[in-house]
Chains A and B, each alone.
Chain A
């Protein structure tokens, strides 16, 4: 009887001491800056500190964990990878194919010429190995084109590198 009471009291303590669970879909504050895809892909963009809004079409939801989505604007070549951050358990599969407004913090990955050349070398090595086994796919051509585009962007960038932005989101809403 005593042990049952101990368990019951411990459980009640947990129930009463925690904050209410954060809902996945919350209203998104309208006062924040909405960042455009042109800004994200421009050479001069500096990510604002704090939360921003990104809007667009969700074209992919990670089917394993649901913790990652890809969102595009009108140009399918300009997309952003968004991770579910604190307060979000993940993105349900039905978000794929929906227009979304996502709030979160932008994170910058700096890609310089050296790192892109390394990517190119790795890809070439992979292509050579695939050629040996006659399994080369056209995916490599797409990847090579992306690397070439990246090199062009870096060479034109006044910063000397290309900023690849991803986002850690705290809220989202289907629009």
Chain B
């Protein structure tokens, strides 16, 4: 078997093998790239409601907390509560929290839900550690191999002799231009 053939076989099989990981990192990459605009892991919904009865600082029992939660049907989701300051009561519920303004009675409920698919791919992208570190490191090395082996798939003018070199050089120049633009 000559080297060209071996290269093609390895490029093909590694390409097949790493298709899942490539898609995971690509989806997560897009999601995390735009984290200024959205939370890539959680969907957070805020809503307000009014609680008319007086709530006293450091003198609120579980009965009253449940009464507040009953306004939004969350009584069964109660976890804990505390007063971060003398004007605010924070109630933790499963999947979010409710903040009560003791002066105005205005309550703001924050509901937090995992974004399906994105949470999972981001979890892997952020590196859960252990075996995944090895697996993803090997993937990265293999990506380098795929990039280099890809140069030698096709011979002739559509390979490195003309098209491959031109497109490859352009692909290297573009990030260098970005670097110069951002750093100079």
Across-interface contacts of A96 in B (CB, < 8 A): 92, 97
Name A residues whose Cβ lies closer than 8 Å to a Cβ of B: 2-4, 6-7, 10, 14-15, 17-22, 57, 59, 63-67, 72, 76, 86-90, 93-94, 96-99, 142
Across the interface, do B80 and A7 meet the contact criterion of CB distance under 8 Å? no
Name B residues whose Cβ lies closer than 8 Å to a Cβ of A: 1, 6, 9-10, 13-14, 17, 35, 39-42, 44, 79-80, 82-85, 90, 92-95, 97, 112, 114, 123, 126-132, 134-135, 138
Across the interface, do A97 and B79 meet the contact criterion of CB distance under 8 Å? yes
Across-interface contacts of B128 in A (CB, < 8 A): 21, 89-90
The CB with the most chain B CB atoms within 10 A, among A3, A57, A87, A89, is that of A3
Across the interface, do B39 and A63 meet the contact criterion of CB distance under 8 Å? yes
CB distance from A26 to the nearest CB of B (A): 13
Neighbour of B41 across the interface among A18, A57, A64, A94, CB < 8 A: A64
CB distance from A68 to the nearest CB of B (A): 13
List 5 contacting pairs A-B, 8 Å CB cutoff, sorted by A.
Answer: A10-B138, A22-B129, A63-B41, A76-B82, A89-B127
Across the interface, do A3 and B39 meet the contact criterion of CB distance under 8 Å? no
Across-interface contacts of A90 in B (CB, < 8 A): 126, 128
Neighbour of A2 across the interface among B1, B41, B85, CB < 8 A: B1
Across-interface contacts of B6 in A (CB, < 8 A): 2-3
Residue of A nearest to B133 (CB): A18
CB distance from B21 to the nearest CB of A (A): 12
State in angstroms the CA–CA spacing of A119 and B105 once bound together: 34
Across-interface contacts of B79 in A (CB, < 8 A): 97-98
Across the interface, do B129 and A63 meet the contact criterion of CB distance under 8 Å? no
Across-interface contacts of B123 in A (CB, < 8 A): 89
Across-interface contacts of B41 in A (CB, < 8 A): 63-64, 66
Across the interface, do A7 and B82 meet the contact criterion of CB distance under 8 Å? no
Across the interface, do A18 and B129 meet the contact criterion of CB distance under 8 Å? no
Across-interface contacts of A94 in B (CB, < 8 A): 94-95
Across the interface, do A21 and B131 meet the contact criterion of CB distance under 8 Å? yes
- A65 and B129 contact, Cβ closer than 8 Å, known pairs A7-B14, A57-B82: no
Residue of B nearest to A10 (CB): B138
Across the interface, do A64 and B35 meet the contact criterion of CB distance under 8 Å? yes
State in angstroms the CA–CA spacing of A57 and B35 once bound together: 28
Across-interface contacts of A98 in B (CB, < 8 A): 79-80, 92
State in angstroms the CA–CA spacing of A117 and B44 once bound together: 37
Across the interface, do B80 and A63 meet the contact criterion of CB distance under 8 Å? no
List 14 other contacts, CB 8 Å, given A14-B134, A21-B129. Answer: A6-B10, A18-B130, A19-B130, A64-B39, A65-B126, A76-B84, A86-B129, A89-B123, A89-B129, A90-B126, A93-B112, A93-B114, A97-B80, A98-B92
9 interchain residue pairs of minimum CB distance: A97-B92, A21-B130, A89-B128, A97-B79, A3-B9, A97-B80, A3-B10, A18-B131, A3-B13
State in angstroms the CA–CA spacing of A86 and B130 once bound together: 10
Across-interface contacts of A64 in B (CB, < 8 A): 35, 39-41
Across the interface, do A7 and B112 meet the contact criterion of CB distance under 8 Å? no
